[in-house]
Amino acid sequence: MRAGSGRPPAAWAADRVPAGNRWAAGRPILGAVEAFRIVGGARLAGEVRVTGAKNSVLKLMAASLLAEGTSVLHEVPDILDVEYMAELLRRLGCDVVRDRATRSVSITVPEVPHHKADYDLVRKLRASINVLGPLLARCGEADVALPGGDNIGSRGLDMHIAGLERLGATVRSEHGFLIATRDERLHGATVWLDFPSVGATENLLMASVLAKGTTVIDNAAREPEIVDICTMLQKMGGQIEGVGTSTLVIEGVEALSPTEHTTVPDRLVVGTWAVGAVMTRGDITIHNAVAAHLEIALDKLVRAGAIVDEVPDGFRVACHDRPRAVDVVTLPYPGFPTDLQPQFIALNSIAHGSAMVTENLFEARFRFVNEMVRLGADVRTDGHHAMVRGRQSLSGAPVEAADIRAGAGLVLAGLVAEGCTTVYEPHHVDRGYDGFIDDLVRLGADVSRVDV
């Protein structure tokens, strides 16, 4: 290396970067890297239709394991996470057929599925832990690699394990796998969740529908996605009371039957479009959307200056002036959703005034703030609080998405930034948003997927 240059020659660097590692000091070294390129200044206007919820359809796919035969799901988004779950089910012995034209998935489950979910898929998909309950109930054993997914903080499995043990399972961790077994049929029990965990509620629901006797899940999660999985399980023959409340009562049955089900609309994608309309002083009509699933978030947007009007299958969001900053505190449903927190930080960063954003669910969500600062945002964090002082405009820059919602927030910020913004690691956004870039272009944005 030349003395005083401070940087090795390109050939030297290429020889020493491990295969597949294209990054050094935040910049690509080897080969082309995909990114979103956003030219700021667009006003989003028009109509968009949202598909089924990512956070529901993945669990519905896992629930299909509970019945031998073919179940069909509709309104399935064309996203990476669905493909990951489809491949996981195939490895468990299922026949999975996706029809992208009709947005449906057909899952044919064998009499006895395989019971091992390997790490190479599980590490990509947090929702893969939801095969634990169905496999345990159907097969008497489940070996599931400890899951991966978004890097937004710790999400322990203690409540999953404690609840399944209350139902009569034996659970241990061994060589990176969570191994659950039962000597005989699971039995009903009363399970109190320390926190209304969505994942624990879903796993316990799916295990208890085939258990002997009555199971009560207290302090259960109440998200629309929980209601959705309860509805599908009821169609399959499950006996569940208290749907939509914090107390679920499940009377176990001997067997379930395959079914056909339409996935609930994705409220988080809906919320992202609503924030985008307000940030860009736009006007978007969102179809296949349920306003009741976003009451607090929509109220915040109205306080920010938006106009929200219901239409027969959704609602319209419009904003004609610079938005006002709004305080946000994330809480379990029906509180403000943590998965809309990055989008609201992006909104507050260009709003009039200052606002406090408090994150109560995932401690690493604020990693996204560092990228917003690169775009010129004035955001200061202290523990689980972020103080956002709005600025007239942001400045385009290269940034990196660390998770699905952070990626969406950065794209929205790029729409209102001066110049060009490049968002690296776009696969995170692809995991949760179906046709995101195409929809943005149709709404008037100058956005493209490029090789950098």
Residues 97 and 195 reside in one and the same domain? yes
Residues 185 and 59 reside in one and the same domain? yes
- Residue 430: partners with Cβ closer than 8 Å, 6 or more residues away: 79, 80, 436
Residues 218 and 334 reside in one and the same domain? no
Kindly state the helix (H) or strand (E) to which residue 15 belongs, with its residue range.
helix 10-16
Residues 72 and 137 reside in one and the same domain? yes
Residues 188 and 332 reside in one and the same domain? no
Residues 25 and 66 reside in one and the same domain? no
Q: What is the mean pLDDT of residues 165-183?
A: 91
Mean pLDDT for all residues in the chain: 90
User: 14 by DSSP, 3-state: which?
Assistant: helix
Report helix angle 267-279 to 341-349, nearest 10: 0
What are the structure tokens assigned to 252, written together?
A: 């176990």
Q: Are 127 and 88 in contact (CB under 8 A)?
A: no
pLDDT category at 4 given cuts 50, 70, 90 is very low
Q: What is the mean pLDDT of residues 284-291?
A: 98
Measured distance CA(104)–CA(84) in Å, rounded: 15
The fraction of the chain above a pLDDT of 90, given in percent, is 81
Within-domain flag for 4: no
Final residue before a domain boundary, out of 262, 287, 318: 262
Residue set of the binding site: 54-55, 126, 339, 361
Instruction: Compare 126 and 365 and report the one with higher pLDDT.
Output: 365
Within-domain flag for 257: yes
Domain containing 288 equals 11-50+265-451
At residue 209, the pLDDT reads: 98
What are the structure tokens assigned to 295, written together?
A: 């009451």
The number of distinct structural domains making up the chain is 2
At residue 31, the pLDDT reads: 63
CB atoms within 10 A of CB 108: 17
Residues 152 and 290 reside in one and the same domain? no
Within-domain flag for 120: yes
Instruction: Compare 256 and 148 and report the one with higher pLDDT.
Output: 256
At residue 32, the pLDDT reads: 74
Residues 255 and 135 reside in one and the same domain? yes
Residues 188 and 222 reside in one and the same domain? yes
Q: What is the mean pLDDT of residues 83-112?
A: 95
What are the structure tokens assigned to 29, written together?
A: 């070294």
Q: What is the reported pTM?
A: 0.90
Within-domain flag for 106: yes
Residues 20 and 139 reside in one and the same domain? no
At residue 157, the pLDDT reads: 85
Within-domain flag for 2: no
Instruction: Compare 125 and 426 and report the one with higher pLDDT.
Output: 426
Q: What is the mean pLDDT of residues 180-200?
A: 94
pLDDT category at 452 given cuts 50, 70, 90 is confident
Residues 123 and 243 reside in one and the same domain? yes
SS3 per-residue string spanning 94-146: CEEEEECCCCEEEEEECCCCCCEECHHHHCCCHHHHHHHHHHHHHHCEEEEEC
Q: What is the mean pLDDT of residues 325-338?
A: 97
Within-domain flag for 6: no
The tens digit of pLDDT for each residue in 246-266 reads: 999 999 999 999 999 999 999
- Would you mind telling me the total number of residues written for the chain in this entry? 452
The yes-or-no verdict on residue 47 having pLDDT over 70 is yes
Residues 244 and 128 reside in one and the same domain? yes
Final residue before a domain boundary, out of 204, 232, 262: 262
The yes-or-no verdict on residue 440 having pLDDT over 50 is yes
Signed CA dihedral, 403, 408, 409, 410: sign only: positive
Catalytic positions are: 150
The yes-or-no verdict on residue 408 having pLDDT over 50 is yes
User: 48 by DSSP, 3-state: which?
Assistant: strand
- 79-88, 105-114, 273-282, 303-312: range with lowest mean pLDDT: 79-88
The tens digit of pLDDT for each residue in 68-77 reads: 999 999 999 9
At residue 438, the pLDDT reads: 97
Q: What is the mean pLDDT of residues 261-278?
A: 98
Nearest to 164, CA basis, from 146, 179, 149: 179
The yes-or-no verdict on residue 150 having pLDDT over 50 is no
The tens digit of pLDDT for each residue in 7-41 reads: 333 332 333 333 333 333 344 445 678 999 999 99
The yes-or-no verdict on residue 397 having pLDDT over 70 is yes
The fraction of the chain above a pLDDT of 70, given in percent, is 91
> 21-44 as b/e, with b when 16 or more CB fall inside 10 Å?
ebeeeeeeebeebebbbbbbebeb
Within-domain flag for 1: no
Report helix angle 132-139 to 158-166, nearest 10: 20
The yes-or-no verdict on residue 125 having pLDDT over 80 is no
Within-domain flag for 290: yes
Final residue before a domain boundary, out of 214, 237, 262: 262
At residue 147, the pLDDT reads: 66
Query: For residue 242, what is the domain's CATH number?
Result: 3.65.10.10
Residue set of the binding site for phosphoenolpyruvate: 54-55
Nearest to 197, CA basis, from 82, 65, 333: 333
